[in-house]
Structures are given as C-alpha cells and as structure tokens.
C-alpha cells in the first residue's frame, strides 16, 4: 500500500518503518547516542538528511533502495531521536562524527547521499577522507553558493531565539497553519502528510531541537547567505557525482546545481519538474528511479548530458534587494521582539 495514497488508509511513519523491513538501531559515538535506520544487503549507501529533518525523511527511498543495497540513514546529532547535546554544531563536527559512525560500522568504502545541509556535510567528509567515497549524490545541496531562503538568513539574527519561541508556542496558531499549508502543498503533488509527521515549526517547539537548529544554521549561514563553500574542493573530485534538484526549489536555487556541475569532472544533473526542496518526499518515485540508476551505473556520467546553464547574475532590482535585505531583516526582527514585549536571550538547554 502506498502511504501517500490519499484514498487509502494511511500508515504513520513509525508504522511504516515497522512494516517495511527498516530497522532502528542506536550506537554511541564520542559519548553521543545516535539513532539510525538500516535495511538491505550489499554495497553500503549512507543517507544524510537536511537541516531540522531526520532519517525518516528518507524512508521511502530506504525501502526502495534497500532491495538492492545496504542502506543506512542516521539522525544527525541535534535531530530526530539522536542526542541533542549543548555543543557548537559546526559542519566539521558533523563530518567528523559521521566518519567515526561509518568506521564504527566497519565500512571501508561507501556511497553517500546528502540532502541540503547533509550535502554540505558530505563534501566536508570528502575533504577529510576522500578514499572512503565510492559515489556521491547531492540533493538540493548546500555549499555551492551564497543563495539561501531569506527565512533561513533571518534565523541567524540574535533576536531569532525569542521570535522562534513565540512562533512555536503552544498558544500560537502558526504551527497549525504551517501544517495545513504543508498538507495542501503535498496534496497538489498527489501526496499526503502522515499524522505523526511534524512540520518545521512543530519540531521547533522542542527547546533542545530549536537550539540545535539555530546553532546549525548560524554556523553555516549569516544574513548574506551561506558562508561555507565547497566549491574549492570540487575540481579534485573524480568520483561519480549526481546532482538532483527540484525545479521549484526556493530554499537553495537550482542554478547551484549547474554551477557545481560545471566544475566537477564526472557530474550529471537531474532536475525534477513540479518539485521543491525535498525530492525524496515530494517526488519519491521519480527520485528513487534516478538514484537507483546512478548507483547501479557502470559508466558515469551518462552519454546524454544536459546542457549546463550559465549562472545568471541577478537583475539590478534583485541585487538591490539582496543589499538591503540583511538590514531590513534585522530591523523587522528587533521591532517584532520589542513590540511583543519579549526579553530576547539565549536559553539554557532543557529550560522551558
């Protein structure tokens, strides 16, 4: 049964995991307990989720590819069912702990699939241990340019702690509104949102997860956009690389895919129509077919390659908007906090 079939009785995510052959395990790395999903036999494939997500975001892909490979998807520290310690969540921290995670599983060679922030972690892992990698798939990946959604830029503001706390509060209607919006958007894609699947605002109701989210975004971005770039390492990558983007991605611009592909030696770009920032959720059948073809390919890239688009410079209007956006965000954030009478401060972990 397709859990996204709106006419069928839906299984929630946990029920789906229990009935699909996926197994949840835990392991302790550097004193932190990590939770991960695993299934299948054969060559290992590691899946790294994006900012504020978890391994569950890969569930449909894990079930499909688990028929051909050994698939492994951890909840990164600060996310999902893994520990959420009071630490500085840097991309180097995630790369280091994921390398130790792979080593603890006894894996010598692995293909890595990274989505969004997980794509940035994948690239950082490569710089540390390139010999570990077989194939690399980057899905709507961070690390290829400054561009990123304005709401993520706004999350780097000092006032974001207090504003997010108010937006996510139990008495706030916004988590419910965000859920209704997500349900309508997925319905337009002929998909459905399971009852136990939480939207970003619902996840951030947890103080621990909210603090981890803010630490992760602030270490990777600022008001001007992404501040960590992997472009310098791209020319040295000779491994097969697949770049998958949603045509309508508003979080990280699709032009980043073509910019990266123009530098990489063995890259191929796939753009999924009518899809946004999460192809594995918004177009699972198409995405899984693309990914399976890549992982099974003996020759890469395919002979028929899409023409690489030139990355156009923004228009004068857009350039001016980008110049004033940081100051405007700072003004709006500060004003909002003052008007609502909230004292903005960094909360301690576990503090209500």
Per-residue pLDDT tens over the stretch 323-333 = 444 444 444 44
Handedness of CA 113, 229, 77, 13 (dihedral sign): negative
* pLDDT score of 219: 84
Phi first, then psi: give them for residue 39, nearest 5 degrees: -165, 160
Q: What is the DSSP code (8-state) at residue 168?
A: T
HSE (CB half, 13 Å, CA atoms) of 58?
30
d(CA 317, CA 324): 11
What's the burial of 229, exposed, middle or buried (CB within 10 Å: 0-12/13-18/19+)?
middle
What pTM value is reported for the model? 0.79
* pLDDT score of 90: 93
d(CA 77, CA 97): 9
Q: Which residues pair with 270 in a beta bridge?
A: 244
What's the burial of 282, exposed, middle or buried (CB within 10 Å: 0-12/13-18/19+)?
buried
Per the CB < 8 A criterion, the answer to whether 40 and 72 are in contact is no
Query: What is the β-pairing status of strands 133-139 and 110-115?
Result: parallel
* pLDDT tens figures, 61-107: 999 999 999 999 999 999 999 999 989 899 999 999 999 999 999 99
Please, what are the domains in the chain?
Answer: 1-145+229-312 (3.40.50.1820)
Per the CB < 8 A criterion, the answer to whether 291 and 65 are in contact is yes
Per the CB < 8 A criterion, the answer to whether 54 and 81 are in contact is yes
d(CA 245, CA 129): 26
Profile the chain (352 residues) by mean pLDDT over runs of 10 residues: 33 62 94 96 97 91 96 96 92 96 97 97 96 98 89 83 78 73 65 58 76 84 84 93 95 94 95 93 95 96 61 44 46 46 36 30
Per the CB < 8 A criterion, the answer to whether 279 and 327 are in contact is no
The H or E element that residue 269 is part of is strand 267-272
């Amino acid at each position: 049964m397709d859990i996204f079939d709106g006419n069928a009785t839906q299984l929630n995510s946990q029920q789906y995991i229990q009935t699909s052959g996926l197994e949840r395990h835990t392991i302790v790395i550097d004193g932190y307990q990590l939770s991960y999903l695993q299934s299948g036999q054969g060559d290992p494939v590691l899946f790294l989720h994006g900012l504020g997500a978890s391994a569950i975001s890969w569930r449909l892909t894990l079930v499909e590819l688990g028929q051909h490979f050994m698939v492994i998807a951890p909840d990164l520290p600060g996310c999902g069912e893994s520990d959420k310690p009071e630490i500085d969540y840097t991309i180097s921290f995630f790369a280091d702990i994921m390398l130790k995670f792979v080593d603890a599983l006894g894996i010598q060679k692995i293909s890595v699939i990274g989505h969004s922030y997980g794509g940035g972690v994948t690239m950082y892992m490569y710089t540390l241990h390139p010999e570990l990698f077989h194939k690399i798939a980057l899905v709507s990946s961070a690390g290829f340019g400054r561009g990123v959604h304005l709401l993520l830029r706004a999350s780097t503001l000092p006032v974001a702690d207090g504003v997010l706390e108010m937006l996510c509060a139990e008495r706030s209607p916004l988590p419910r509104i965000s859920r209704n919006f997500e349900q309508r958007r997925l319905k337009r894609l002929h998909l459905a949102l399971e009852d136990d699947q939480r939207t970003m605002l619902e996840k951030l109701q947890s103080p621990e997860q909210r603090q981890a989210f803010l630490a992760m975004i602030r270490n990777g971005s600022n008001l001007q956009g992404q501040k960590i770039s992997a472009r310098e390492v791209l020319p040295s990558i000779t491994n097969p690389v697949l770049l998958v983007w949603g045509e309508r991605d508003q979080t990280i611009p699709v032009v980043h895919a073509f910019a990266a592909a123009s530098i990489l030696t063995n890259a191929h770009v796939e753009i999924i129509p009518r899809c946004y920032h999460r192809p594995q959720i918004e177009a699972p059948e198409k995405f899984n077919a693309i990914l399976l073809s890549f992982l099974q390919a003996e020759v890469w890239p395919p002979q028929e390659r899409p023409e690489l688009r030139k990355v156009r410079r923004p228009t004068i209007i857009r350039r001016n908007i980008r110049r004033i956006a940081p100051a405007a965000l700072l003004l709006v954030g500060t004003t909002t906090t003052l008007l609502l009478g909230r004292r903005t401060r960094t909360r301690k972990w576990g503090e209500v």
